């Protein structure tokens, strides 16, 4: 099931499939009269809800992969690196916001290509997981990994 979901999410990112549930957009117009902690929390919730279609397929895929690991530690590593990959660009953007505005206009052109490549990776990973090839490939790579590296990992 997880492999099939990865394939579906990947096809969505590539643009082959259009799943209406993942394409919904909700807008809520709200005028803030003052700055408050409650308003900040509400803005954060709205921001997270708006980003769900963007990060949902990738996060769901990582959760599927994490659920198939041998223990909670391996899943925690996957989710930890995902969180780092999501947070670090935001932190760097906050530090260098002025310079970033010029860079973003140039990067925007390649975003669709990056999204399509991420979709292809998800389709391949989902196919490997669905067919059981991921487990066989994992076993092969573990046998080929030097003992010292396995102990270190």
132-148 per-position pLDDT tens digit = 998 899 889 888 989 88
pTM of the full predicted structure?
Answer: 0.52
Number of H helices, E strands in the chain: 8, 0
- Burial letters 97-134, b for 16+ CB under 10 A, else e: eeeeeeeeeeeeeeeeeeeeebbeebbebbbbbbeeeb
Q: pLDDT of the chain along its 153 residues, tens only?
A: 889 999 999 999 898 988 888 777 777 676 656 677 887 888 788 877 777 777 778 888 888 888 877 778 888 888 898 889 888 988 887 888 777 777 777 777 788 888 899 999 999 999 999 999 988 998 898 889 898 887 877
């Amino acid at each position: 099931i997880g492999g099939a979901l990865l394939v579906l999410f990947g096809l969505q990112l590539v643009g082959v499939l259009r799943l209406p549930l993942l394409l919904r957009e909700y807008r809520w117009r709200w005028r803030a009269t003052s700055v408050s902690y409650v308003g900040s929390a509400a803005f954060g919730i709205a921001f997270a809800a708006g980003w769900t279609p963007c990060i949902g397929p990738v996060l769901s895929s990582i959760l599927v992969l994490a659920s198939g690991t041998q223990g909670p530690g391996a899943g925690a590593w996957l989710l930890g690196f995902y969180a780092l990959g999501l947070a670090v660009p935001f932190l760097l953007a906050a530090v260098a916001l002025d310079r970033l505005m010029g860079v973003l206009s140039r990067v925007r052109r390649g975003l669709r290509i990056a999204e399509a490549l991420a979709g292809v990776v998800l389709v391949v990973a989902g196919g490997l997981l669905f067919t059981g090839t991921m487990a066989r490939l994992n076993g092969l790579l573990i046998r080929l990994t030097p003992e010292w590296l396995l102990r270190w990992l």
